[in-house]
């Protein structure tokens, strides 16, 4: 099946079982599923030390697994989650206090200082990624930041995980260079930071203190690119 023929995954079908499926998928690397979310939010918290955001959007938040961590990392911020899956947003409303679930169509009513996009772009067809990026940039306040976190297509373990994950059936992985180009060339943003992370599985967790030094190496399970609006 060609990329153009890929059917979009309907995440309404996975809202009730998404967390269990994710835990099953990731358990070989780390038994604590929240480790993967904390790793991303820790990177954002590190990068945003000098400019604390007042409004944060988790774009494509799903059932909101990142939202409590964003709220804890940035206690002075209003935290929002948006998704195309209404069932996922309802789960957020029912289970995650202190955050606001926004339907995708309501996003243009808001502006944000930080937009967090975690493993969403590989579900967006390449022909639409530039348009989505420009839309997200338009939602940023001046000085705001857009951070994209994605699967590392150079990592064979990551490739295997994505190929066997039922809610990644429509996945088309993107290289870090494409992500940087989307933010800088298409979005007109200034690169702030980029790198790889998730190098060490649970049985090597004693080495995780080295991850920051290893960020330039394209070996981690995932990568990030963060850019800011002038």
Tens of pLDDT, residue by residue over 108-155, are 999 999 999 999 999 999 999 999 999 999 999 999 999 999 999 999
Q: How confident is the model at residue 6 (pLDDT cuts 50, 70, 90)?
A: very low
For residues 218 and 202, the model is more confident at 218
Q: Is the pLDDT of residue 171 over 90?
A: no
pLDDT value for 160: 79
Torsion of CA 50, 61, 223, 26, to 10 degrees: 130
Q: How far apart are CA 144 and CA 72, in angstroms?
A: 19
Identify the band that residue 159 occupies on the pLDDT scale cut at 50, 70 and 90.
confident
In this prediction, residues 97-101 reach a mean pLDDT of 96
Q: What is the pLDDT of residue 201?
A: 83
Q: Which domain holds residue 108?
A: 3-228
Number of domains forming the structure of the chain: 1
Residue 29 has pLDDT above 80, yes or no: no
**What tokens appear for 203 in the block?**
């049985």
CATH, residue 113: 3.40.50.150
- On the question of pLDDT at 100 being above 70, the answer is yes
What's the pLDDT band for 35 if we cut at 50, 70, 90?
Answer: confident
């Amino acid at each position: 099946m060609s990329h153009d023929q890929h059917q979009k995954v309907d995440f309404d079908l996975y809202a009730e079982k998404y967390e269990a499926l994710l835990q099953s998928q990731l358990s070989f690397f780390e038994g604590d599923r929240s480790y993967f979310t904390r790793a991303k939010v820790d990177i954002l918290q590190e990068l945003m030390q000098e400019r604390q955001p007042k409004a944060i959007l988790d774009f494509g938040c799903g059932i909101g697994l990142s939202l409590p961590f964003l709220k804890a990392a940035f206690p002075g911020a209003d935290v929002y989650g948006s998704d195309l899956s209404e069932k996922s947003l309802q789960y957020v409303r029912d289970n995650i206090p202190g955050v606001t679930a926004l339907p995708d169509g309501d996003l243009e009513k808001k502006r944000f200082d930080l937009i967090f996009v975690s493993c969403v772009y590989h579900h967006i067809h390449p022909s639409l990624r530039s348009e989505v990026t420009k839309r997200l940039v338009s939602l940023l306040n001046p000085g705001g930041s857009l951070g994209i976190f994605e699967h590392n297509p150079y990592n064979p373990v990551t490739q295997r995980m994505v190929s066997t994950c039922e809610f990644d059936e429509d996945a088309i992985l993107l290289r870090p260079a494409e992500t940087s180009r989307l933010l800088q060339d298409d979005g007109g943003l200034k690169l702030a930071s980029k790198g790889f992370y998730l190098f060490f599985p649970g049985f090597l967790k004693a080495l995780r203190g080295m991850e920051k030094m290893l960020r330039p190496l394209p070996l981690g399970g995932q990568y990030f690119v963060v850019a800011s609006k002038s």
